[in-house]
């Protein structure tokens, strides 16, 4: 997706994939919390969404914009996953 958006205004299209980013951030945050007991940082999300395009000779760097509100909404959803885990244990 980063490859498709690299020459476009990502904020113009953000509502098309914002929900997917939230789910991805929720999954990353839940996994990190289960592994280390720590909260996923915004910088870690940004780092996870930087890529290198191996199809280009210069290995062009690609990235996806992540609005702060999308990061926060993904973190807020982790509470539900933790509650579901606690109930099922």
Burial 4-42 (b: 16+ CB within 10 A, else e): ebeeeebeeebeebeeebbebbbebbbebbeeeeeebee
Q: Is 26 assigned a ligand-binding role in the annotation?
A: yes
68 a known binding residue?
A: no
Annotated binding site for Mg(2+): 26, 81
Q: Provide the annotated binding site.
A: 26, 81
């Amino acid at each position: 997706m980063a490859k498709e958006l690299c020459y476009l205004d990502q904020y113009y299209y953000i509502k098309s994939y914002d929900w997917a980013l939230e789910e991805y951030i929720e999954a990353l945050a839940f996994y990190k919390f289960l592994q280390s007991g720590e909260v996923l940082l915004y910088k870690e999300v940004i780092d996870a969404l930087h890529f290198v395009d191996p199809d280009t000779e210069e290995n062009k760097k690609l990235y996806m914009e992540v609005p702060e509100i999308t990061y926060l909404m993904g973190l807020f959803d982790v509470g539900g996953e933790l509650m579901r885990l606690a109930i099922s244990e």
